Each structure stands twice: as structure tokens, then as C-alpha cells.
Structure 1
Amino acid sequence: MNTAPASADAPRWLTEEEQRIWRSYLHATTLLEDHLDRQLQRDAGMPHVYYGLLVGLAEAPHRRLRMTELAMKAKITRSRLSHAIARLEKSGWVRREDCPSDKRGQLAVLTDAGMEVLKRSAPGHVAAVRQALFERLTPEQQKSLGEIMQIVAEGLQPDDAGADLPWLR
């Protein structure tokens, strides 16, 4: 891409080095997500996003969260969450309950069967994460990666509640 200096209204193109870093990041994150998704499909019969939903519920008080909170935690749209919860309900891993404090709201609740599948699949998932990421990095690289991702996440997490965020759609 053009690396000429940008004028006030021209795009500021990535340098060759920035382009290399960006493409490496995209390539690695796509491969990592695919690797984890395939591992969970093979070992637990669920995609990575469903595993994340089960983890979110397992970590919540009384293993239940409002659907909106769960969508926010998973960084997905409410529509995608509703579809995922329906699939998890069919498996018997999650159930929905009406929210006692808000007649329009619903809670997602992790069932005992869902907790069991999570307990069975967690060791393999942790091993896959460790093998794919942490065992490839030195302790210093792990620390740097954590710091970098924290900075990126903080910059992308707006304080504005009216922002166009997936879980608000």
C-alpha cells in the first residue's frame, strides 16, 4: 500500500513494518481461534463461543446471568446469544428463567449437566491454549503480550453506554 506521508485529508497508510505486524496478528488470531474451536468441537461437541458462555455462567453468582450481561461478557450480539442459548438449552446445558426484578428480562442459568460438560472439557481446552500460546512464548513475551492486549482492549472499550457495541444490538 502507499506509504507516502499523509496530507490532512489523506489516509495515513501503515508502514511496511506496521503492515507486517498487523497481518501477523490477523493470521495468528485467526489460526488460534480455529485451533481452539476445532479442539472444543472434537472434545466437547461445541464451538469455542459456546464454551465461553458456559464459563461466563459458571463464574457468575448462582451460575446465572441476565442475558444482556452474558452478551456483554461474551462480546456478542443479543441475537447471536439468543441463538447460542437455544442450542445450549437443547443440549440440556443451560436453561432460561424469567428475571424476578424485571418482567422483560431473562436469565441464562448453567445446569448441572452444563457444569459437568464444562468440567470434562476444561482440561483439554486449557491444554490446547497452553500448547498453542503460552508454551511458545518466554515469560517476558507472555508479560508483554498481556500488557499490550490490555492497552488495546482499554482503548476499544468505550465508556459511552450509547456506543454501537455488539451486546447493545
Structure 2
Amino acid sequence: MTEQEPRWLDAAEMKAWRNYAIGAAMLADRLHRELQDNHDISLADYQVLVRLSEHRGLRMRMSQLAEEVASSKSRVSHQVARMERVGLVRRRECPEDGRGVFAELTDKGMETLRTSAPTHVEGVREHMVDLLTRSEQEVLARVFDRVITHLRGRDG
């Protein structure tokens, strides 16, 4: 069996990949620091609060929450446990399914989301959205919709 030569990235592909990788890491770090410094909440916790606030009953199954925040079930379980200790969320058993567990937003979690959202939205605007034209935003949305679909195994 012969080993096939890798499909190396050309200069344009490498530039696109590196700029994405570095930019995404820097953006996430900046947004995290702004939330941490101003509201004592992590970007990961903020994302959980947002997802819960968007669902009926302000709750979601833990497995669905993990998928929506692009994390493992184990990592989300630890994160929710930490958030539960500070009163931002609570766990509830699923009444329809004895094995299922919900994460549910508390009043304190909703208030934390309400006060931290303006900081986060301003950061997203300042560090990304306002730097792009509307057509660039649309292209970016389409590109990452395709990437997400592929990585979740729902492609084609």
C-alpha cells in the first residue's frame, strides 16, 4: 500500500485558515475577558444563559444544550454544576423521561444575562460585526452554516 501525499494548503488557503484560527481565538478571548471583567461571568456561561433564555420554560435537556453550545455532555454537565452552585441555573428531572435532565434558568441567571448582554453585544459589534459589510456578514453566515452542518454529520 502506498501512502498518498497530503493535499497541502496553498498560500491563499493557508492565509484563510490561519487568519480564521487566530482571529476566532482572539475574538473569543476578548469577549470572555470583557464579560469576566465587567460581570464576573465567562463567555461559556453566558452562552448557556442565552440558550436557556431562548427556549420555552427557560430550560433545555442537557444533551440538547451541549449540542447547541458545541460542547461535550460531560463538559456541559460540569459547567452547569458550577453555574448551579452560584445560583444561575438549576437542574430538574424530566417529568416525561426519568433519565432525562433539564438545565433551567433561575431568576438570578436571567438577571445576570440581562445585565451582561449589552456588554457582550457591544463587544460582538465592535470586534466583528461592524468591521464587516452586510454582504460579508451574509457570506460568513453561509460559510459557517455549511461548516457546522458538515461537522455535525448532517451534510448532504
Q: TM-score, normalised by structure 2?
A: 0.92
In the TM superposition, residue 42 of structure 1 has moved relative to its aligned partner by 1.1
Specify which of 80, 88, 95 is matched with residue 85 of structure 1.
Answer: 80
Could you say which residue in structure 2 is the equivalent of 1:104? 99
Could you say which residue in structure 1 is the equivalent of 2:37? 42
Specify which of 107, 113, 116 is matched with residue 118 of structure 1.
Answer: 113
- In 1, distance between residues paired with 2:135 and 2:63? 37
SS at match of 1:147: helix
Mapping 1:138-157, distance limit 5 Å: 138-157=133-152
**1:142-167 CA deviation, whole Å, 9 max, x = no partner?**
2221222222222222139xxxxxxx
SS at match of 1:69: helix
Could you say which residue in structure 2 is the equivalent of 1:26? 21
Aligned-partner residue type, residue 36 of structure 1: L
> 131-140 or 107-116, which moves further after superposition?
131-140
- In 1, distance between residues paired with 2:147 and 2:61? 27
Could you say which residue in structure 1 is the equivalent of 2:132? 137
Aligned length: 154
CA RMSD of aligned residues (A): 1.6
Q: TM-score, normalised by structure 1?
A: 0.86
- In 2, distance between residues paired with 1:121 and 1:67? 23
> Structure 2, unaligned stretches of length 5 or more?
none
In the TM superposition, residue 8 of structure 1 has moved relative to its aligned partner by 7.5
Specify which of 64, 67, 71 is matched with residue 69 of structure 1.
Answer: 64
- In 2, distance between residues paired with 1:126 and 1:84? 22
SS at match of 2:137: helix
- In 2, distance between residues paired with 1:51 and 1:125? 9
Could you say which residue in structure 2 is the equivalent of 1:165? none
In the TM superposition, residue 62 of structure 1 has moved relative to its aligned partner by 0.5
In the TM superposition, residue 13 of structure 1 has moved relative to its aligned partner by 0.5
SS at match of 2:95: coil
SS at match of 1:46: coil
SS at match of 2:116: helix
**1:1-37 CA deviation, whole Å, 9 max, x = no partner?**
xxxxxx9811111111111111111110010010111
